Structure formats: C-alpha cells, structure tokens
Amino acid sequence: MDALAALMKGPLPDLYFCIGNPVVGNPTQYMVEEAFSALNHPGRYLTCEVQPTELEASMWGLRALQFAGGNVTAPFKQQVFPFLDDLSESARLCQAVNCITRQPDGTYVGDNTDGKGFLQSLKEALGDIAQRKVILFGSGGAASAIATELVLAEIREVVLVNRSEDKAQAVAKRLQGISKTIVRTEKWEGTYRLQEDGLVTVQATSVGLFNKQACINVEFEGGLKDCLACDVVFNPVDTAFLQKAREAGWKTLDGLGMLVNQGSIAIRNWTGLEPDRTLMRRSLEEAFAVLTK
Ligand code: NDP
C-alpha cells in the first residue's frame, strides 16, 4: 500500500542498478532488496545486462533517469570512468569502480567498496592489524582493491604474489609511497611456502570459484602462531584453500563476509542507513542455494 501511495502521491522510490555482462547469476539485487525491505527503504534495484557497445548510452540513460546509484561489475569496472564526475580515493588508487552514488548536487561519484569490505572483515577477525604482514595472491581487480585498502590502513607490509609479475608490479607502483606500508612484489613460481608466525595470507585469484577442489599452489606450515588465511572466493564458501589452511592449524576467513560488507558499504553510500549484515549473508546463501538445486 505504501508503494501504491508513493506511485500516486510521490515521492517516487529511488532506483538503483547493477550493470555488467554477464549478470545472470549475480545475487546482488536479491541481497540489496532484502536489506532495503528490512530497513523500510523504498528503493528498487534492477539488474541490467549491458552490451559493451551500449555502455556509453546506458550510463547517460541511467544518469538522465536520475538513478540514485548502483553497482558495476565485470567487464565495466574501469570502462565507466569517463561517465563519472569524480572518483573516491579508493577507486582512483585501485583503478576500478564497483559502486556509483548520485550526490545531492546531481553529480555521480565512483567508489570501490570491494577492498573496504575485505578490510572490515579483516579488522573484525583480528582487531588491530597495524603490525601485520600480508601475502596477497593475485593482482587482478579484487587483489588491487584489497591492496589499496591495506595500504590506506597503513598496515606494516603487503607482498603481492602473482604468476604475471608485471601485473603485480603495476599495482605496487600505484601504491608505493601512499603510506608507510611497505609494498613489494614476488613472482610466483612453483609452490609458495607460507611459514612465518603472525602472517595473514589472502587468496585473491579466481582459482576455486565454482570449483570445490581447485586450490592455488601454496603450502601452509603447521605449528605457527596467530596466522590467518582469507579467501575472496565466495562460492563455494568453504574453499579448498581454506580447508588446507585449517588442516595446518591456521584460522580462516571466507569471501562471503567480504561480499556482504562491500554491499553494506554500498547501501550506506546510497542511503546513509546501516543494513542488517546477518540478513544480507543469509540472502546470499539462499541465492547461491538456487544454483545447486
Ligand atoms: P581478475 O580476472 O581481475 O584477476 C584474476 C587473478 O587471478 C589474476 O591475478 C590472475 O593471474 C590470477 N589467476 C587466475 N588463474 C590463476 C591460476 N591458475 N594460478 C594463479 N593465479 C591465477 O579477477 P578479479 O580480481 O576480479 O576476481 C578474482 C576473484 O575474486 C573472483 O573469484 C571473484 O569472484 C572474487 N571476488 C570476490 C569479491 C568478494 O566480495 N568476495 C569481490 C570481487 C571479486 P594473472 O595476472 O597471472 O593472469
């Protein structure tokens, strides 16, 4: 009835978008609409598949229709830059936008909430992270967003390990000197051995996505103190990487928490409201369960 009253008497509900290609299988709409509903926020969120040749027309269309904000997924996280008025520090440093917000003056600002979502999970797991060293596997969009936030948070050291070292070096070059964080790269050849007390390691490659058996080539030393292994892969939730870490006595952090957190930060950007993250996690689990039916 409230929706009908809004339609007849206004104000019309805010509209939000998710653009990418492909977008079928992306659960964000369900998670965001469940969160909006619990918040009594009258927003509508639409998942739109955009052809690469239509990105420019789509972006001007979303602006003309005064969408209040939205999410951007592959392959457009960099290609949307020309259609935005400004970028947050995170988006500029990691060279990718996954969240757009319309400002009160009608301009559109791009942010990256992936790394912020990860950082929130990490702080919730460890508390103070200042003295930690992080071994980060991968140098694509997810790894670059995570490295950016770790550097902005002034963590002690970040080591980017990637099979194509030039990509790791490009990320490191953007981040070196931004804060007191030491940023290094290492080429990944053969088995990478994780063998220091207090280490945090992050699996930020695409290995293990939709594959329960696949695991990057690493060995976890047993008997270490206070080590944490994190995976960005969220489907399956309990990846082979996390299982291997646990078998060696490491604590673990799954990628679903990061996915929930990046979404909750986006909702905060758009509405100023704090969504229920437990509900958001449950809605993602429900959405992924549909894929396995
Ligand atoms: P990209 O395609 O940008 O990067 C992929 C990275 O994985 C590259 O560094 C690539 O190395 C590396 N890689 C791929 N295959 C292998 C392999 N066999 N061995 C070693 N390294 C490999 O992907 P994204 O960074 O966008 O996404 C990575 C993962 O993060 C995906 O699973 C995605 O679903 C997940 N993700 C999770 C989020 C969350 O909220 N939990 C948010 C965003 C992403 P190279 O450079 O050598 O090719």
DSSP 115-180: HHHHHHHHHHHHS--TT-EEEEE--SHHHHHHHHHHHHTT-SEEEEEESSHHHHHHHHHHHTTSSS
Contacts within 8 Å (CB) and 24+ apart, 77-84:
77/141, 79/52, 79/55, 80/55, 80/110, 81/110, 82/56, 83/55, 83/56, 83/59, 83/108, 84/108, 84/109, 84/110
Output the pLDDT for position 293: 78
Whether the CB of 155 sits within 6 Å of ligand 1 = no
Whether the CB of 146 sits within 6 Å of ligand 1 = no
Please give the distance, rounded to the nearest whole angstrom, from the Cα atom of residue 261 to the centre of ligand 1: 19
- Sequence-separated (6 or more) residues with CB below 8 Å from residue 97: 72, 77, 78, 80, 81, 84, 87, 91, 110, 111, 112
Instruction: Please confirm, yes or no, whether 180 is among the known catalytic residues.
Output: no
Go through the domains of the chain in sequence order and give each one's CATH number. 2-113+258-291 (3.40.50.10860), 115-255 (3.40.50.720)
Whether the CB of 232 sits within 6 Å of ligand 1 = yes
Provide block-wise average pLDDT over 10 residues at a time, the chain (293 residues).
87 97 96 97 97 98 98 96 98 96 98 98 98 97 97 98 96 97 96 98 96 97 97 96 98 97 98 98 96 81
Output the pLDDT for position 2: 82
* Of 71, 157, 150, 159, the residue nearest 116 (C-alpha): 150
Atom 26, ligand 1: which residue's CA is nearest? 141
Output the pLDDT for position 292: 80
Pairing of strands 228-231, 251-253: parallel
Pocket of ligand 1, candidates 206, 209, 218, 285: which has the most ligand atoms within 8 Å of its Cβ, to mutate?
A: 206
Please give the distance, rounded to the nearest whole angstrom, from the Cα atom of residue 142 to the centre of ligand 1: 7
Query: Whole-angstrom Cα distance, residue 19 to residue 254?
Result: 25
Query: Whole-angstrom Cα distance, residue 235 to residue 233?
Result: 6
Output the pLDDT for position 3: 86
Whether the CB of 170 sits within 6 Å of ligand 1 = no
According to DSSP, the residues that pair with 200 across neighbouring strands are 134, 228
Counting from 1 in the atom list of ligand 1, the atom nearest the Cα of 255 is 41
Give this prediction's pTM.
Answer: 0.96
Query: Cβ-count burial of 46 within 10 angstroms (0-12 exposed, 13-18 middle, 19+ buried)?
Result: middle
Whether the CB of 207 sits within 6 Å of ligand 1 = yes
Please give the distance, rounded to the nearest whole angstrom, from the Cα atom of residue 233 to the centre of ligand 1: 9
Please give the distance, rounded to the nearest whole angstrom, from the Cα atom of residue 176 to the centre of ligand 1: 22
Please give the distance, rounded to the nearest whole angstrom, from the Cα atom of residue 260 to the centre of ligand 1: 18
Provide the sign of the torsion angle of the four alpha carbons 6, 11, 13, 15, taken in this order: positive
Output the pLDDT for position 1: 57
Output the pLDDT for position 135: 98
Active-site option among 77, 116, 133, 173: 77
